[in-house]
Structure 1
Amino acid sequence: MGNFDAFEIKMNAAGVSDAAIRTFRRNYEALLRDETGMISEDSINPAQGLVSFEDIASKGETDADLLSQAVVIKLNGGLGTGMGLQGPKSLLSVRDGVNFLDLMVRQILDLRQKSGTDVRLLLMN
């Protein structure tokens, strides 16, 4: 499919790993098949049979046990250079000297206090 040999020769000469070459080959072949990775909106159906939040009865101990196993994952944004900032967007002041990072930590501390569990926080940079 296509002429991948030229790409492979150049990548081998540049010391690219076999795993990276295989990944590039797979993506290259998908491109040749006109695969875009896009899912057309027409092919998506609404989820069926979802239970509403209000219908879920709290189980107290079970909730705390599950919460103690959970990790809250927050996307920590990135540098604010595209916005003309000199530092990370998470350090932007929200109000009264509190920045986004402070707000995230406060939310976790509040959740820990209310649930009595040691909920973990993972920041994705």
Structure 2
Amino acid sequence: MTLLISSLFYPAFYIVGDNPNSWSESWLLFFFGWTFPLGGAFLPFLIWCANPIYIFSIILTLKGKIKGLYFSLTASILGISFSLMETVMTSESGGTSRIKSLELGYKLWVSSLIVLTIGIGINELILKRK
């Protein structure tokens, strides 16, 4: 959770645009990503769904359910898949911009997803051995 919260304070990515410092704020993406389908950005919405899946996997894990591992793995795959995107929708009219670079906010966010998956996996292995 510390990595996830830390990621909110850094830019997620830079885009090519008129302004050489065009970037996307991580906290805006995290809290308002559910609105992406309203502008037609369905694929970024699916990737944003890694956030509620992440939280749901924590809840399942705390309840002792193995499904928490599968949900965290799904969230990790969704998060990593953003790195494969070359463009992202940047305007309500459907305009897109090329992603120039992935920044610390994105890297911390993906790290939080992966660390959770590894942690739950290790926890499940330890519980199976007992």
Normalising by structure 1, what TM-score? Answer: 0.30
Identify the structure with the greater helix proportion: 2
Please identify the structure whose Cα radius of gyration is greater. 1
Normalising by structure 2, what TM-score? Answer: 0.29
Greater relative contact order: 1 or 2 (C-alpha under 8 angstroms, separation 6 or more)? 2
